[in-house]
Amino acid sequence: MIRYPIPMVPGPVSVPEPVLAAAAVDYPSGDLEAEFLELYRHARQGLQALMETRNDVVIHTGEGMLVLWGAMKSVLRPGDRVLSLVTGVFGQGFADMARGLGCNVAVFELSHDATLGDIEPLVEIARRFQPRMITAVHCETPSGTLNPIERLGEVKRQCGDGLLLVDAVASIAGARVAVDDWEVDLCLGGTQKCLSAPPSMSFLSVSDAAWDAVGYVKYAGYDALLPFRHVLDDGWFPYTPNWQGLACLDTAVNLVLQEGLDRCIQRHDDVAAHCRRELARLGYRLFPRPDARPSPTVTTVYLPQQREWREFDTDLRRAGLAVGGGLGPLAGRVFRLGHMGSQAQRGIVDRALAVLAKV
């Protein structure tokens, strides 16, 4: 198997030893053992700390996309109005998913190199459109940008009982995510980004208002939230629980809490600032506009002029550096350095920069 000594793919990231070791155990059946429920309760508590919330947290087996779909299908019905903030590929994805569910979708779109600035136009649309749900992405991984979710509370307040859904898959544990302060009803996360666990699990916080909607919509499916509403009381899971996956997630959360959430976030900020500064010094052009907020977890960079993505990537890999390519409209135009979780290390970034200086 090929392994890269300089891992900088923006998820799945390199998994540290203690997290790997948590999976190498012959666990009994999670359906039958009280110990599994205790682990679930513990992991849930840790995730509440990372997301700064007292809301319930549901942990699913499956990658990030599972909770993206599960959250949407569990609270929306055909004809519901959805307002999507689109500043990148995943923001656009929510608008498409809502349309796919038969919802009436309004889009507030900015270019992929921008982040939300003035909220007045969005406030105005919310006031007129009265959406049932607002969707937004915190870290747009393809663009390397971070939207100011803290400003969306004002938008949400314009729409009565409207819910705020935020994809924080690529920011939880790498940037501040303050679910309660920011009035987020559904905050979605995954294991394979800043938590540095394998891509097997996903999770989301669910506010009381969101649970009410789940109870009303009663969506049934593998990704449904409803069966998890009382999971800690009745211990009944809708499918065989993934003990290995949960153990990895719990261990990963503990590692962040042991480091200290603030210190962990500061580490991401410092490494990202260093990465951006040095790339600019080497003559690389960063993708986000100067007035956009760059993500502390991933840096998106224009390909050097006259370089074609495939051969550039091959050269980097030969030198031991694995990076991400451009997605959607950015395919073939940019590359991405994932300094998240275990990869948010100055040493790793410096070795990547040394390759990028020569290639």
Ligand X SMILES: Cc1ncc(COP(=O)(O)O)c(C=O)c1O
Kindly list the residues in this chain that would bind ligand X in the complex (CB under 6 A).
11, 63-65, 68, 90, 137, 139, 141, 167, 169-170, 190, 192, 199
- Angle 54-13-5 from CA coordinates, rounded to 5°: 150
Q: Give me the least distance between CB of 184 and ligand X, in Å please.
A: 15
Q: Give me the least distance between CB of 256 and ligand X, in Å please.
A: 18
The pair phi, psi for residue 148, each rounded to 5°, is: -80, 80
CB 167 within 8 A of CB 138: yes
Residue with Cβ nearer ligand X (11 or 245)? 11
Q: Give me the least distance between CB of 9 and ligand X, in Å please.
A: 10
Residue with Cβ nearer ligand X (123 or 170)? 170
Residue with Cβ nearer ligand X (121 or 328)? 328
Q: Give me the least distance between CB of 277 and ligand X, in Å please.
A: 24
Count of alpha carbons within 13 Å of 292, Cβ hemisphere only?
A: 25
Residue with Cβ nearer ligand X (199 or 227)? 199
Q: Give me the least distance between CB of 223 and ligand X, in Å please.
A: 12
Q: State the SS3 of 3-46.
A: CCCEECCCCCCCCCHHHHHHHCCCCCCCCCCHHHHHHHHHHHHH
Residue with Cβ nearer ligand X (158 or 338)? 338
Residue with Cβ nearer ligand X (136 or 353)? 136
Residue with Cβ nearer ligand X (65 or 354)? 65
Distance from C-alpha of 196 to C-alpha of 297, rounded to nearest angstrom: 12
| No. of helices (H) and no. of strands (E), the chain | 12, 14
Q: Give me the least distance between CB of 88 and ligand X, in Å please.
A: 8
- The structure tokens listed for 83 are 């307002």
Q: Give me the least distance between CB of 161 and ligand X, in Å please.
A: 26
Distance from C-alpha of 221 to C-alpha of 72, rounded to nearest angstrom: 12
Residue with Cβ nearer ligand X (123 or 288)? 288
Picking from 351, 330, 349, the residue whose alpha carbon sits closest to that of residue 340 is 349
Distance from C-alpha of 162 to C-alpha of 179, rounded to nearest angstrom: 16
Q: Give me the least distance between CB of 165 and ligand X, in Å please.
A: 12
Q: Give me the least distance between CB of 282 and ligand X, in Å please.
A: 26
CA distances from 135 to 107, 245, 334 (A): 10, 28, 26
Q: Give me the least distance between CB of 12 and ligand X, in Å please.
A: 8
Judged by DSSP in three states, 236 sits in: coil
Residue with Cβ nearer ligand X (68 or 322)? 68
Residue with Cβ nearer ligand X (11 or 174)? 11
- AA letter at 132: R
Distance from C-alpha of 143 to C-alpha of 87, rounded to nearest angstrom: 8
Q: For 256-279, b where at least 16 C-beta lie within 10 A, e where not — what string?
A: beeeeeeebbebbbebbeebbebb
Q: Which residue is nearest to ligand X (CB)?
A: 64
Q: For 167-186, b where at least 16 C-beta lie within 10 A, e where not — what string?
A: bbbbbbbbbbbebeebbbbb
Judged by DSSP in three states, 61 sits in: strand
